[in-house]
Chains A and B, each alone.
Chain A
Amino acid sequence: QKEVEQNSGPLSVPEGAIASLNCTYSDRGSQSFFWYRQYSGKSPELIMFIYSNGDKEDGRFTAQLNKASQYVSLLIRDSQPSDSATYLCAPSGSARQLTFGSGTQLTVLP
């Protein structure tokens, strides 16, 4: 069983729509959860983190966490073509190391 599973996509949404990215994890000891965005040919950049159950909003991004279900998601509202990238989910382990999923490739169509 993979430690971190993401819907692999590719996921296509029209400009202005909501993009929903999902992630499940196996390590119940994970405390913090990070979302990174990776443009093609570039390195990952941090866009959101969450460590409490519920929702956390930052601009057009909302992270949702349900530790009982071992599930974390990222919603992108009013999607823009510039949001087209691969989104990586990464729970944090006990030594603060991040374990990455394989990522979901998102394409926002103009």
Chain B
Amino acid sequence: EAGVAQSPRYKIIEKRQSVAFWCNPISGHATLYWYQQILGQGPKLLIQFQNNGVVDDSQLPKDRFSAERLKGVDSTLKIQPAKLEDSAVYLCASGTVKGQGNGYTFGSGTRLTVV
């Protein structure tokens, strides 16, 4: 089965600019997650979707971050305006809702550098 696709792989922007990341989950996976991983730290959940509805966005900085999942498939995460502290890898993951042992699969991530 095809994995989780993310693009772009790398992005360098200046502070106060905007940026968008795209994710295509594994076919049939109802849940989709965006995580932020700062260097030396574990991934931190930003937002969780189930189909096209938001399940948890409690840790999403809503003044600058937004995310959507149209038609319950692809998702985009946007940052506007970016700050230096947003420099991180943004990971998308998808999973199923069945069974206890179904951890989810991560995409290769987008490495964002804000200068």
**Residues of chain A whose beta carbon lies under 8 Å from any beta carbon of chain B:** 4, 31-32, 34, 36, 42-46, 49, 51, 88, 90, 92, 95-103
Contact A45–B41 (Cβ < 8 Å):
no
CA gap between A108 and B97 in the complex, in Å:
36
Residues of B within 8 A of A88 (CB): 42-43
Q: Interface digits, B65-96 against A, CB 8 Å rule (1 contact, 0 not)? A: 00000000000000000000000010100010
Residues of B within 8 A of A96 (CB): 31, 95, 97
Number of A-B contacts (CB under 8 A): 57
CB distance from B28 to the nearest CB of A (A): 16
CA gap between A101 and B48 in the complex, in Å:
18
B14 CB–A CB distance under 8 Å = no
Contact A100–B42 (Cβ < 8 Å):
yes
Q: Interface digits, B27-46 against A, CB 8 Å rule (1 contact, 0 not)? A: 00001010100001111110
Residues of A within 8 A of B107 (CB): 43
Which of B35, B91, B101, B105 gathers most chain A CB within 10 Å? B101
Residues of B within 8 A of A95 (CB): 48, 55-56
Number of interface residues of B (CB under 8 A): 25
Question: Provided the pairs A32-B100, A43-B91 are in contact, do residues A99 and B45 lie with their beta carbons within 8 angstroms?
Answer: yes
Question: Provided the pairs A51-B101, A97-B45 are in contact, do residues A45 and B56 lie with their beta carbons within 8 angstroms?
Answer: no
CA gap between A64 and B31 in the complex, in Å:
27
Give me the 7 closest cross-chain CB pairs, A-B, nearest first: A100-B42, A43-B106, A46-B103, A34-B103, A102-B42, A49-B101, A32-B100
User: Would you call the interface of chain A mostly helix, strand, loop, or mixed?
Assistant: loop
Residues of B within 8 A of A46 (CB): 103-105
CA gap between A44 and B40 in the complex, in Å:
13
B108 CB–A CB distance under 8 Å = yes
Contact B103–A36 (Cβ < 8 Å):
yes
CB distance from A76 to the nearest CB of B (A): 18
Contact A97–B55 (Cβ < 8 Å):
yes
Contact B100–A44 (Cβ < 8 Å):
no
- Of all chain A residues, the one with the shortest Cβ separation from B43 is A100
Contact B45–A32 (Cβ < 8 Å):
no
